[in-house]
Copies of this chain bind each other. A is one copy, B any other.
Amino acid sequence: MGNNKALMAIGAHLSPHDHSKHQLATQSVPYDEKKLHAEVWSELVVELPADEIWAVYSSHDLPRLIVELLPQRFDKIDIVEGDGGVGTIMYCVLNPANSGPQTWKEKIIKMDDKTRTKVVRQIEGGYLGIGFHMYEHIFTITPKDANSCIIRMTASFDVDDNSASNASLISANWSMGKAIANYVFQNKANKHNNAHGN
């Protein structure tokens, strides 16, 4: 049941002349305890064109709309600086029913219409207050065909080893993607019905 061949092979690699021995001797663990990196992403394949979905994600009005679409998630999002485009700083307050940090400031650091990519990074409070060195959301909309696309939301972060257990607060979540897809879908259905006098 199993064999030790591979484990014994490790020994063969380890000679007393190994170049890393001095470096290893000065540290107690063989990794950087200040920078555990992780990503959590969730994907939603939607039967709607990429450009229609991206129009919402890139909209300068999204902070207002998203509070309206996800009241169970957000109590409010105030724009502190900017017009909703790159460089905009927002102050977010979650509905108290949510777990994890409840308030933070975040900044839109990228908005690329070509790759349909938006990056929003926390700059004060939030996960930065509980042992994280970096926390950002990356949104990408990728066309599948003319009438369907993939919405991907990624939480990307670095956490201190001492606070690694706080990573359990971050898990895959499709609610924003679903809310925006349903919003575009409903607008489309209403428009279709109006055009046909229903």
| Interface of A toward B, CB cutoff 8 Å | 1-7, 9-11, 13-14, 16, 18-21, 23-25, 27, 29-32, 35-49, 51-52, 55-56, 58-65, 79, 83-84, 146-147, 161, 164, 167-174, 178, 181-182, 184-185, 187-189, 191-192, 195-196
Contact = CB atoms under 8 A, between A and B. Distances in A.
A146 B49 CA distance: 46
Nearest to A159: B172
A6 B48 contact: no
A196 B25 CA distance: 14
Contact of A61 (B4, B11, B189): B4
Stoichiometry (number of copies): 2
A4 B161 CA distance: 43
Given A2-B61, A37-B43, A56 B173 contact: no
What DSSP secondary structure best describes chain A's contact surface? mixed
A5 B178 CA distance: 22
A185 B30 contact: yes
Contact of A63 (B2, B9, B48): B2
A14 B188 CA distance: 6
Nearest to A65: B7
Given A5-B60, A172-B170, A192-B21, A181 B43 contact: no
